[in-house]
Amino acid sequence: MTTFAVTLEAFTDIDFWIGVGILAGTYTIFALGLQINVGFTGIVNFGQAGFMAIGAYTMGILVVKAGWSFWLALPAATVTAMAAGLLIGLPSLRLRADYFAIVTIAFAEIVRYVAQNARELTGGNQGLLGYDDSWAEVSAWILDRLETVGFGDQFLMPLLLVTWLTALALIVVLTIAQRTPWGRVLRAIREDEDAARALGKNTFAYKLQSLMIGAALGALAGYFLALNLAFVSPESFEPLFTFIGYAVLILGGLASYAGVALGAIVLWTLLEATRFLDLPLAAEKVAALRFMLVGLLLILLMAYRPQGILGKRREMVLGD
């Protein structure tokens, strides 16, 4: 009975929804990258958390260690993540999809490993902080404007707004891009790469472009995660976060950009709600329970509804 009361209380709490909203927005951007890779190009990127980490860490290092402006560090870090996508794609995108999955998951693990061990640069397990002064100014400015509509005391509201504005803008841009000839080539590669190649398309170049855009979106999600956490540490970028992105992707449906947003909201509401269950367990065990839930969700979705909530079955053509 008490369990239920606690849960309901949580759902009427605005802090809860702001927290969920920021995470959902961040993972929308994160999984939009997966959507263009997996849903529209048919390349199985298992290293999205690695690109997210490269983005966030490069930004943090440039600002904190090299004294760059935050606003200059953002594009530089995005380019770095895209370069990483290029480097990882060059040796592996020509190969079968399962090789690519192996290489990218290994890549994400190595990024985490470097973040943990290159202590001079990344701060190791202590993490890196002090990169968000510029954001704090912007946040304060937005908060002033929010004052007039009565949200002035919601410290995280500006981040929520900017995250979702970015996410929605990206959904629009990507949806339009998907209708261009360029977008149709990506889809053709997913359907039948040999046929696309026979039509004279340099499919390898298109796949690389798709991966680099995915990496840039990963990096972008990394900035929002970094601003949300206020410091970056290796454990925020573990390879397993890629698969929270996949749970979002599959829940929302393959080959649907809008579905990603839906999937992110559903999944993060679910995951954050587990925090309020009054379980007689230590925090680490509740965390374990949440990730078990993600694992089970992936298994059940793949077994029974691989196209997700909004996806179309005929778009599910990742045979081999």
Partner 1 sequence: MEAGVPRSGIESSLTRRMRDWPRANPARAAAALLGAVMVALAIAYGIQPLAQRTINGVVSGSYIALGAVGLTLVYGTLKLVNFAHGDMLTFGAYVAFLFNVTIGLPIVVAALLAVALTAALGVASDAVMWRPMRAKQAGLLQLLLMAIGLAFVIRNGIQLIAGTSPRRLDVDVTTSIAFLGLRIGRTELIVVIIGLIALAAVVLMLRYTLLGKQMRALSDNFDLAEVTGIDTDRIVFATWVFAAGLAGLAGVLLVAAIGSMTINIGFFLLLSLFAAVILGGIGNAYGALVGGMVIGLAQEWSTLVLDSRWKVAVGFAILILVLIVRPAGIFGRERTL
How many secondary structure helices (H) and strands (E) does the chain include?
14, 2
3-state secondary structure of 15: helix
Q: Does 320 bind partner 1 (CB under 8 A)?
A: yes
Nearer to partner 1, 161 or 211 (CB): 211
Q: What's the CA gap between 265 and 256, in Å, rounded?
A: 15
On whether the CB atoms of residues 225 and 24 are closer than 8 A, the answer is: no
Q: Does 46 bind partner 1 (CB under 8 A)?
A: yes
Handedness of CA 155, 287, 57, 118 (dihedral sign): positive
Containing 231, the helix (H) or strand (E) segment is strand 231-232
Q: Does 279 bind partner 1 (CB under 8 A)?
A: no
Q: Count CB atoms within 10 A of the CB of residue 271.
A: 20
Minimum gap (Å) between residue 13 Cβ and partner 1: 27
Minimum gap (Å) between residue 272 Cβ and partner 1: 17
Q: Does 296 bind partner 1 (CB under 8 A)?
A: yes
User: From residue 133 to residue 172, what is the string marking binding to partner 1 with x (rule CB under 8 A)?
Assistant: ----------------------------------------
Footprint (CB under 8 A) of partner 1, residues 87-106: 91-92, 95-99, 101-103, 105-106
- Which residue stretch of 3-11, 193-201, 266-274, 296-304 sits at the interface with partner 1 (rule: CB under 8 A)? 296-304
Nearer to partner 1, 129 or 318 (CB): 318
Torsion-angle region of 314 (φ positive above 0: left; ψ -120 to 50: alpha; else: beta) = alpha
Percent helix, strand and coil across the chain, each rounded to 5?
80, 0, 20
- Please report, as ranges, the residues that interact with partner 1 according to CB under 8 A: 38, 44, 46, 91-92, 95-99, 101-103, 105-107, 109-110, 113-114, 117, 239-240, 243, 246, 250, 281-282, 284-285, 287-289, 291-292, 294-299, 302-303, 306, 316-320
